[in-house]
Chains A and B, each alone.
Chain A
């Protein structure tokens, strides 16, 4: 975890259930006598998220329609702290940030505006997700001013249609769809569920909420989970399209879930003559994740 990430210890279930009483019925006693949750129950995960958002981020209302991805907060916060390290701190204005594929959960913009006071544009290709995200921003006092939600009508485009003619973003972020097909996504979800059953205490697992399919927890909307060619094709597309917006974006970033994709991503970045790039590694417990960052601005090298 990033040194400033407040979620490094274990969850304080007592304080969390005081903040959100609906969490209390999900709390169980773990093998070592500690208070924990059944992390394979999507309703428990959703209640945990609500409680963390309320207690630590003053986000009073966060909820999801059934079947949409329920993001683990500590890992999401981690990415934001590392993004903050990449921003030029001489800036006296609040950073302007673009979240590509925000989903119905709007999690990065909500956290980023509360923790760093960033201003956000959040995009998605899924109409229902956009509809939900817009209303979440409105339902939380103060967030609507800081978060603009925009629909991407063309799923082959990433920045076009979203970045306005005279707009500038300090940084962009993205949690891309990992899988190459729906079957892949289903297999991944099944694997995750088996691991969870083996290790119920593991934190921050990305369980999808769907109380109808308790066993597989395979829901998540198709655009959240997979795209043609998987994450590599998606990130390459992002790198290619980023070149057209190099004057309007300081730093581009994207999560990379598969380590083996780093070589091909490096090659793609070099072929586009980026000024500098880097991979930033993040670890949560025994899980290692990373994101790639690149810029076309030679005066602002990524170190």
Chain B
């Protein structure tokens, strides 16, 4: 099948009963991965290609309290990595970023998001091809939506000036985040020589 075509709900892998369990502590930051969150914690969800490199990119940013990888934007509840790689869940590989809003803010994360990957590639990112690698911002409130849309139009202006293409990033309301299997959490910390295909356009924000 063509992995760059979104499956419909009818074609998607059926739901799974069992939730995927992950470690309660972040392997790098040492903070909790599933709450309870400290007072100034805020959540944001970004998809920018293979989640191994994407997660590492975010846990290294100042003010980030915790990160996790998972699946969002598709149909299949409690999808497994294998389900997602089949291209039949419509999920995209997503990083949940929990940040301290006293130390950073959503706008700063957005700026980092745009320059970290190439948001003009549609249903792929670099060598990774398929709907599971599409770029997305899943907003959690009106304010995030408003700033996400604005940052996209600003970055599009910069790309236009450089003769680059149209941004294909999906900006949608966040739905259920399904944690990926524990082996994928903080993967590049556990596997320092692991694959990372994350690469930006070279155009600044």
Contact = CB atoms under 8 A, between A and B. Distances in A.
Contacts of A135: 105-107, 143, 147
Given A131-B101, A134-B105, A139 B143 contact: no
Contacts of A131: 42, 101, 105-106, 143
Interface string A165-207: 0000000000000000000000000000000000000000000
Contact of B142 (A66, A127, A134): A66
B195 to A, nearest CB: 33
B141 interface: yes
Taking chain B's interface residues, is the majority helix, strand, or loop, or is none over half, making it mixed? helix
B146 interface: yes
A132 B42 CA distance: 13
Interface string A118-134: 00000000011001101
B193 interface: no
If over half of A's interface residues share one DSSP class (helix, strand or loop), that class is named, otherwise mixed; here it is helix
A65 interface: yes
Given A61-B150, A65-B141, A138 B108 contact: yes
A138 B105 contact: yes
Contacts of A61: 150
A65 B139 CA distance: 13
A66 B146 CA distance: 10
Interface in A120-165: 127-128, 131-132, 134-135, 138-139, 151
B139 to A, nearest CB: 11
Nearest to B108: A138
Contacts of B141: 65
B150 A63 contact: yes
A131 B102 CA distance: 9
Contacts of A139: 107, 147, 150-151, 154
Nearest to A64: B146
A134 B105 CA distance: 8
A32 to B, nearest CB: 36
A131 B63 CA distance: 14
Contacts of B101: 127, 131
A63 B146 contact: yes
Interface in B106-161: 106-108, 141-143, 146-147, 150-151, 154
Nearest to B104: A134
Interface in B137-189: 141-143, 146-147, 150-151, 154
Contacts of A66: 142
Contacts of A134: 105, 107
Interface in A81-140: 127-128, 131-132, 134-135, 138-139
B155 to A, nearest CB: 12
B107 A65 contact: no
Contacts of B105: 131, 134-135, 138
Contacts of B150: 61, 63, 139
Contacts of B143: 65, 128, 131-132, 135
Nearest to A141: B154
Contacts of A127: 101
B108 A65 contact: no
B39 to A, nearest CB: 9
Interface in A200-241: none
Contacts of A65: 141-143, 146
Nearest to A144: B107
B160 to A, nearest CB: 15
Nearest to B40: A127
A135 B149 CA distance: 13
12 contacts: A65-B141, A65-B143, A65-B146, A131-B42, A131-B101, A131-B105, A131-B143, A135-B106, A135-B107, A135-B147, A138-B105, A138-B107
The 10 closest A-B pairs by CB, nearest first: A135-B107, A65-B142, A65-B143, A138-B107, A63-B146, A61-B150, A135-B147, A134-B105, A135-B105, A66-B142
Interface of A: 61, 63, 65-66, 127-128, 131-132, 134-135, 138-139, 151
